[in-house]
């Protein structure tokens, strides 16, 4: 699975692969991006909900032996 491939990124409508959606301002304050669904990562390590769902669905289909991924 290569998310930066045009097919996958277009299907998921991802446009930001290099930045996090959440930025830590200080110990207790965070700034959340305006459009989390366009980001690959929520924070520096965790994928966004959309990306996490895609990974889970892809793994499920791989285990079941199916080739189709619907999003």
Give residue 33's pLDDT.
92
* Spatial separation of the C-alpha atoms in residues 67 and 44, rounded to whole Å: 30
Strands (E) across 1-71 are located at 16-20, 22-24, 30-32, 39-41
Give residue 17's pLDDT.
83
Give residue 25's pLDDT.
83
pLDDT of the chain along its 71 residues, tens only?
A: 556 556 777 778 888 888 899 988 888 898 999 999 899 899 888 999 988 888 888 888 888 876 665 55
Strands (E) across 6-51 are located at 16-20, 22-24, 30-32, 39-41
């Amino acid at each position: 699975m290569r998310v930066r491939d045009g097919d996958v990124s277009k299907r998921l409508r991802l446009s930001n692969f290099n930045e996090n959606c959440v930025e830590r301002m200080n110990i207790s304050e965070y700034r959340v991006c305006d459009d989390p669904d366009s980001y690959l990562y929520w924070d520096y390590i965790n994928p966004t909900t959309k990306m996490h769902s895609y990974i889970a669905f892809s793994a499920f289909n791989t285990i079941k032996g199916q080739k189709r991924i619907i999003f």
